Structure 1
Amino acid sequence: MAWDVVVIGGGIAGVSVACELAASRSVLLVEAEPMLAAHTTGRSAAIFAPTYGGPAVRALTAASLARFDAALLSPRPLLWVGTVGEAIAAGAREITVAQACELCPTLRPEAVRAAALDEGTRDVDAMGLHQGYVRGLKAAGGEVRKCARVTGLTRDGTGWRVSLGTEEIQTGLVVDAAGAWADRVAALAGVPTIGLRPLRRTVAIAVGGPVDPSWPLVVDGGDRFYFRPEGPGVLVSPVDETPSEPMDAKPDELDVALAMQRVNEVTTLALRSVRTAWAGLRSFVDDRAPVVGEVPGHPGFAYFAGQGGYGIQLAPALAAAGAAIILGDPVPADIAITADEIAPARLFAG
Structure 2
Amino acid sequence: MACCAAPMTAADVPVPAYGDAAPQRYHLTKRASDIDSRAREHPAIDFRFTDKEGKVQDLQHAVVDTRVAPRGRLVVWLMGYGAPLFDRLGDYGLHAIQVHYANKWFGIIPTKARDDGTSLGKMRLEAATGQDFTPLASIPQPDGMMERAYQFVRWLAREHPQGKWEQFFSADRQGLNWEKVIIAGSSHGATTAARFAVHQRVDRVVAFCGPRDQLESWQGFPSATPSNRFFGFSHVLDGGWTGDHYCRSWQMLGLHQHGAIVDVDSSQPPYGNSRRLTTHFDVKGDAKRAHSSVVPGGASGKDASGKFLHEAVWRYLFTHPVEQTGAAVPVDPDCGKK
Which band: TM-score by shorter chain? under 0.3
TM-score (norm 1): 0.26
RCO greater where, 1 or 2, for CA within 8 Å and sep 6 or more?
A: 1
Largest Rg, 1 or 2: 1
Larger proportion of strand: 1
